[in-house]
Amino acid sequence: MLRGGLIGCGFFAMNQLHGWREASRARIVAICDRDPARLAEAGDTFGIAARYDDAARMLAEEDLDFVDIATTVGSHRALVELAADRGLHVICQKPLASSMDDARAMVAAVAAAGRTFMVHENFRWQSPIRAAIEAVRGGAIGTPFFARASFRSGYDVFSGQPYLATDERFIVQDLGIHVLDIARALMGDAVRITATMQRVNPAIRGEDVATMLLVHDGGATSVVDCSYATRRQPETFPETLLEVDGEAGTLRLDAGYRLTVQTAEGSETRDVTPRLADWAERPWFNIQESVASIQQHFVDCIEAGRAPETSGADNLSTLALVEAAYLSAAEGRSVDVSEV
Ligand code: NAD
């Protein structure tokens, strides 16, 4: 049984604590938060007695195998380096860092400690997205040459996560990062990106609309479009919709979790609605299910001694797309990902 310590008991960490309860061969034995109210609420809800207001002290006093870092981005580097110093495996929330230098230093620190480092990049672990990725990777539509990954919504994300309204960067750093990662999972690494960004909602600081054009290794194209300014019915939050064209067919993941594959042999539509865990709720249940899945993948990889699919090193390529997208939008030009 792997013993974990969770750092950050905020909004999203509740899902992580539920997910850890479901995990095989791992559990959270200690928690940490600087906010006493959040620490008490998480500890009481999940029956965890070992509670700390300081991460260094938790790591010094507890016998841990891994840490799960669920704080916001500003604290990630220091906490990852602290865990690496103590020789622990690490899973850290996205966005991993707010600069490529920080992200690279974090990957190097955990690698030097010889431990497993995974980013909690969970959208590609949503079971409907996973079904699409597996169909494409399994050759169901032949070699893909075009993809569109689209997340458009008018949902109020600011009440649960107030920092999203006040941070300088919003939709690409927070949400686009996941959708860019899905594009990579479907189409492979991207080498070039062109992005436009808009702020439609005047009450927030950052951009709430982004449209990005990616050129992948080998020449395939994808469009990643994200909006939190789209009022439509039915509201599809928080579904990512997909279209992939391949040399032998097409795949679509439509609203309502309907996955369609069309080839010369015909058309097949499957219902790929995620499992509604007993702790989960609509409309978030696709994300909640993915939290449990990614955490189990982390445990399986530690035990098998293999790199997770969404390892820290892998995530550098997703983070580079985020940085390149902001550079592209700021300078009004196409950006080679190697520039960042
Ligand atoms: P939050 O502000 O609600 O929670 C963060 C908590 O961390 C707070 O309680 C804060 O007191 C605590 N904290 C901060 N620094 C600390 C430190 N050094 N030591 C101890 N405690 C510390 O934030 P949130 O909305 O839960 O987001 C947390 C992270 O999760 C962010 O990086 C966010 O992008 C990510 N997130 C991911 C998803 C997803 O689907 N993967 C969804 C929502 C949020």
Nearest Cα residue to atom 38 of ligand 1: 12
Q: Is 83 in the pocket of ligand 1 (CB under 6 A)?
A: no
CB 120 within 8 A of CB 178: no
Does 158 sit in the ligand 1 pocket, CB within 6 Å? no
> What percent of the chain clears pLDDT 90, i.e. is strictly above it?
100
Q: pLDDT at position 31, please?
A: 99
Q: Which of 15, 33, 82, 156 to mutate to test the pocket of ligand 1 (most atoms within 8 A of CB)?
A: 33
Q: 32 CB less than 6 Å from ligand 1? A: yes
What is the number of H-type helices and E-type strands within the chain?
11, 15
- pLDDT value at residue 68: 99
Q: How far is the CA of 76 from the centre of ligand 1 (A)?
A: 10
Q: Which atom of ligand 1 is nearest to the CA of 32?
A: 20
Q: How far is the CA of 142 from the centre of ligand 1 (A)?
A: 40
pLDDT at 128: 98
Residues 6+ apart with CB under 8 A from 185: 124, 129, 133
Instruction: Output the pLDDT for position 170.
Output: 98
Average pLDDT across the chain, whole number = 98
DSSP conformation letters of 234-260: S--TTPPEEEEEETTEEEEEETTTEEE
Residue 280 — very low, low, confident or very high, per pLDDT cuts 50/70/90? Answer: very high
pLDDT range class, residue 150, cuts 50, 70, 90: very high
ipTM of this complex? 0.99
In the sheet with 241-246, reading across from the earlier edge strand, the strands are 266-271, 258-263, 249-254, 241-246, 144-152, 221-227, 209-216, 190-198, 335-336
- Residue nearest atom 31 of ligand 1, based on CA coordinates: 72
Could you report the per-residue pLDDT of 89-129, keeping only the tens digit for each? 999 999 999 999 999 999 999 999 999 999 999 999 999 99
- CA contacts within 13 A on the Cβ side of 299: 20
Tell me the pLDDT tens digit for each residue of 50-103. 999 999 999 999 999 999 999 999 999 999 999 999 999 999 999 999 999 999
Predicted local distance difference test score (pLDDT) of residue 258? 98
* pLDDT computed for residue 238 by the predictor: 98
CA-closest residue to ligand 1 atom 10: 8
**Can you list the domains of the chain with their CATH numbers?**
2-115 (3.40.50.720), 124-280+317-339 (3.30.360.10)
